[in-house]
Amino acid sequence: MTSSSSQDDIDRSEKIPGYATPSHPWQEGNAVDWNETEGASVNERKTRSRSQSERLSRIHDWLSAPDPSLNYHKALRQRQAGTGLWLLQDEKFKIWKEAAASRLLLYGISGCGKTILSSTIIEHLLFHCHDDVRMVTVYFYFDINDTQKQDSKLMLQSLLSQLLLRSEMIPESVDTLISSCGNGQRQPSLYELLEALSQVLQQFTHVYLVLDALNECEQGNKLVDVLEAMDGWQLDNLHLLMTGRQERPIDEFLGRHLKEGYSICLHRNVVDQDILRYVLQRLGDERGLPKWNGNADIMREILTAVMRDASGMYVYISVQ
């Protein structure tokens, strides 16, 4: 099946200028300053030359990857301060951060707050990696409301773009990828992206990869193929964290490759801690409600009713 995003890829690939001879005005002297992005550390800004930055910008433009940081910042804005911190203290999460070739799944019903929780994790990991250029955090949000974020190939293009942001030098494998694609005259295939990605990952001592909402990928079987390939790399430095619902075909892949105990169920008792914190904050901020703050019985009744109806669904609360 050909999606609208796939057709866009074809259209873009026909218009991409030669890699060595960029024709867009911004490429000829107004390159995007990658050094000022959230992925670049202070050391990288000192190391990377302007010519390297401009070349990275051309590669980024060629890859035409969707920007997952939009989802990340949106989720951060929706998050109530202090929520999700329980996960960062969880022993399974701490082990995942340090263990070789670690995998961790966060699963729960639709609307239980997995995407909000992903933003907490990503924020924590970005800070964890910030001052060490040998470590990197990359992420992707599958999004049912954005066709470009329902495609596993575009996910790979995004991950490769993010890794290059953190690279001090352009890896040889990326030069090879560009050359094999006619110096940027066509878009890379899924196989070519996987090959390049596996090589680029090995530059780092630790790579934290967060994939949110696996079930919102339109091409579930193709995504399973990608995850199978990643698992086959057997890279000790790759730490993969995924969120989603227990549905086929993703669930079948996880059953084959996820070690027992390497998952966290976002059941009601766990999520309700965050929901309670959010509700208390909303009750205090909502106009018209402060007058009831002095009446403990009424506030208790409101809180009980909202928590009961939420039934572990963070989304239900956030739209009220």
Amino acid identity at 50? R
What are the distances in angstroms from CA 86 to CA 120, 220, 266, 281, 291? 10, 30, 11, 18, 32
Contacts for 137 with CB less than 8 Å, ≥ 6 apart: 122, 125, 126, 128, 129, 207, 208, 209, 210
Domain check: are 207 and 277 in the same one?
no
Task: Name the average pLDDT for the chain.
Answer: 78
Domain check: are 247 and 274 in the same one?
no
pLDDT tens-place string over residues 101-156: 999 999 988 767 899 999 999 999 999 999 999 999 999 999 999 999 999 999 99
Better-predicted residue by pLDDT, 1 or 292? 292
In whole angstroms, give the CA distance from residue 125 to residue 60: 23
Which runs of consecutive H residues, i.e. helices, occur in 131-263? 152-166, 172-180, 190-201, 220-233, 250-257
Q: For residue 278, what pLDDT band results from cuts at 50, 70 and 90?
A: low
Number of structural domains (the chain) is 2
Q: State the residue range of the domain holding 276.
A: 269-318
Lowest mean pLDDT among 26-30, 36-40, 46-50, 174-178: 26-30
- In this model, does residue 84 exceed pLDDT 90? no
Domain check: are 50 and 86 in the same one?
yes
Among 33-42, 75-84, 237-246, 305-314, the range with the most confident prediction by mean pLDDT is: 237-246
Domain check: are 111 and 219 in the same one?
yes
pLDDT tens-place string over residues 184-240: 999 999 999 999 999 999 999 999 999 999 999 998 999 999 999 999 999 999 999
pLDDT tens-place string over residues 63-76: 999 999 999 999 99
Domain check: are 274 and 262 in the same one?
no
- In this model, does residue 265 exceed pLDDT 90? no
Domain check: are 196 and 274 in the same one?
no
- Cα-to-chain-centroid distance, residue 206: 16
Domain check: are 66 and 129 in the same one?
yes
My answer on whether omega of the bond before 249 falls inside 30° of 0, hence cis, is yes
Domain check: are 201 and 106 in the same one?
yes
Domain check: are 282 and 140 in the same one?
no
Contacts for 181 with CB less than 8 Å, ≥ 6 apart: 187, 188, 192
Average pLDDT over residues 46-61: 84
Better-predicted residue by pLDDT, 161 or 82? 161
Among 244, 266, 288, identify where a domain stops. Answer: 266
Q: CATH number, domain at 112?
A: 3.40.50.300
Domain check: are 170 and 301 in the same one?
no
Domain check: are 105 and 251 in the same one?
yes
Domain check: are 303 and 190 in the same one?
no
